[in-house]
Chain A
């Protein structure tokens, strides 16, 4: 069974086509980098995969299930581009809530919260209000909530936004570790170097259409960098 699949998906907002007949598939354990310039439809693809909206045409499946079905989202860790946090909530209480929503209870939830805070380096910030955190720390909290419950599938939307170079390096390591334990990863980004280092599959979206997809070797010609290939596909 595929970890995720989009077949001929079209999504329209008013007259604007955000996605047009896009097909994507990702095997369990794989890592797909969803590339594209701003407004290419990357976030719309993630929203469809999470069941936040329905496609106008085509089909979307998450682990073989309709993403509108809550059980399809069990074992999914999601990091949005901008982490939404309740203003006065504190780091640990926010993570406890999400541990509970991920199905963790009691001591298991508490252990998971401590573990993810340690993993992303925010344990000493456990009692800090979320509103007072810097962008980078907030993004670390976002990673922490996405890692809760050791998800089988990670959907990361512009995961390195707001992180400093050390944070970017850490994020890469967290993603690699998740992959090592068999987690499937989809990274939506316009940072080519990040995708190149963390993913083995590439899909390039341009103006809502799938411009290219395949392994790095298939998308990038010999002697060409990913950046060259990206420019070639989106600015033919």
Chain B
């Protein structure tokens, strides 16, 4: 196995040893139970704005909301886990010991990022996979949009985790986690407003236009589930911006880690 592979395996094991993994597992199980419960209804009448609706008419919208909410939770999870995964190894000195070997800093930093992303990826695959499966089998929704949305979620997680890890090199752990919550929340709000109003100015509009389109990309990917709703925005352009952000995150991490003085 290559040095990068060895370090990534170590980073995953390191992440698995942390107590937060139990919290993630508990939240994931609860989420699955909620999704299971919500997708079980098969008969009955739903009234929206005083108009009776058939279940299959609202299944798409409900499925989209569920999927996007879980996707945003996965992205947030990646950011929070990344907020101390590299920092921890710097504090306890394991980073110095590894970097005394013929190993580049980029390899080390990216292996820590990969460790976080593998753990997040497993959680995401279970949560989004099960949700997609329930929605497809019980709500008759197509799986392809779910797969595409899961892909955009993965790209968002890479970008946010990379940025969070880079930020953790300069900020204390708690501050970094708060910044991650604030940033992901702001992006979600900006994207949500952008999708709802498709207009406006100010900071939120700027975030929506130039920031990582975390929520917009997932929503646009799932647009085939709600054919009756016209969702503004072009998926290829949004995807391209998301890919750029998913590259910016790891690049920022590598650049920031090159400047860090080890072992102080």
Q: Which B residues lie at the A interface, using CB under 8 A?
A: 1, 3, 6-7, 10, 13-14, 17, 92-94, 96-104, 261-264
| Neighbouring A residues of B99 by C-beta, 8 Å | 50-52
For B107, the closest partner residue in chain A by CB is A70
**CB-based closest 5 A-B pairs:** A84-B93, A52-B262, A78-B100, A53-B261, A74-B102
| Neighbouring A residues of B3 by C-beta, 8 Å | 100-101, 103
| Neighbouring A residues of B10 by C-beta, 8 Å | 86, 97
Are B97 and A80 in contact, CB atoms less than 8 angstroms apart?
yes
11 A-B pairs in the complex with CB atoms less than 8 angstroms apart: A50-B96, A50-B99, A50-B100, A51-B99, A52-B262, A70-B103, A84-B92, A86-B17, A88-B17, A101-B98, A101-B103
Q: How far is the CB of B85 from chain A (nearest CB, A)?
A: 12
- A86, A100, A155: the one contacting B6 at CB < 8 Å is A100
Residue pairs across A and B with CB atoms within 8 Å: the count is 79
What is the interface residue range for chain A against chain B?
Answer: 20 to 34
Bound-state CA distance A61–B96 (Å) is: 18
| Neighbouring A residues of B13 by C-beta, 8 Å | 86, 89
Q: How far is the CB of A186 from chain B (nearest CB, A)?
A: 13
Q: Which of B7, B98, B102, B104 has the most CB of A within 10 A?
A: B102
For B17, the closest partner residue in chain A by CB is A88
* In the complex, per-residue mask of A96-118: 1 if CB is within 8 Å of any chain B CB, else 0: 01101111010000000000000
Are A70 and B264 in contact, CB atoms less than 8 angstroms apart?
no
Are A13 and B264 in contact, CB atoms less than 8 angstroms apart?
yes
* In the complex, per-residue mask of A137-156: 1 if CB is within 8 Å of any chain B CB, else 0: 00000000100000000010
| Neighbouring A residues of B264 by C-beta, 8 Å | 13, 47, 53
A45-64 residues with Cβ-Cβ distance < 8 A to B are 47, 50-54
Bound-state CA distance A213–B263 (Å) is: 26
Bound-state CA distance A83–B13 (Å) is: 19
Q: A13-B264, A47-B262, A52-B262 are in contact. Are A98 and B101 (CB under 8 A)?
A: yes
